[in-house]
Amino acid sequence: MEKVLIIIGDATETLDTMYPYYRLIEAGFQPVVAAPEKRKYQMVLHEVKPGWTITKEWEGYTLDADIAFADIVPEDYAGILFSGGRAPEYIRYDKDLVRATKHFFEANKPVASVCHGVEIPAYADCVRGRKMATVPKCQFDLEVCGGTFVNEACVIDGNLISGRTFHDNGHYVGPWIKLLEAARDAKS
């Protein structure tokens, strides 16, 4: 069973993480949760409540990381997903995560990003000249790093598939999994 990385940290958005996690299993892939260190992480739920102008946050489920960023051997993985929430704001600076991120773009492996997940490939200088969806408040992060913001539920730019928020899970995760399946089938 081919392995696929899911990148998280504390305050990773629950639905951004768990929906693709279970979809990968359904498609016959082994999701591998990677984080700054191998331990339990607190996920969160994010929603802009009616009448609010900012995101409200509640605690979600917890999730164990299978591997620390420092222990990732990127060649062992078929693809990667950058989950959203607040986690990307602080994990994007991890040198081992940057190293792994660059590998997936350079090797043209299937990459998915949702919401604040864009902050990781943006920091790793992997979005220059690429079109991506992200939550509108991260448009600046994408554009200042040379990417183009597209406000759609699913944006496909070669090996990079992205969505804005968990509301887009049903739009961008399926095409990303199809890329993973096509790559797997090409190896058979």
Per residue in 5-56, pLDDT (tens digit) is 999 999 999 999 999 999 999 999 999 999 999 999 999 998 888 888 888 8
* Mean pLDDT, the chain, integer: 96
pLDDT of residue 54: 82
pLDDT of residue 44: 96
Q: Which two tokens stand for residue 123?
A: 């920091």
pLDDT of residue 185: 95
Which residues, listed in sequence order, are joined to residue 79 by a DSSP beta bridge? 4
Quote the crossing angle between the two packed helices 14-26 and 169-187, to the nearest 10°.
Answer: 40
Query: Whole-prediction pTM value?
Result: 0.96
Alpha-helix runs per DSSP H in the chain? 14-26, 88-91, 95-106, 119-123, 139-144, 169-187
| CA quadruple 160, 153, 163, 146: dihedral, nearest 10 | 60
Distance CA 112, CA 27 (A): 15
The identity of residue 105, as a single letter, is: F
CATH 3.40.50.880 fits 3-187, yes or no: yes
Averaged over successive runs of 10 residues, the pLDDT of the chain (188 residues) comes to 97 97 98 98 90 86 98 98 96 98 98 98 98 96 98 98 97 98 93
Convert 39-52 to b/e letters by CB count within 10 Å (16 or more is b).
eebebbbbeeeeee
Largest CA distance in the chain: 53
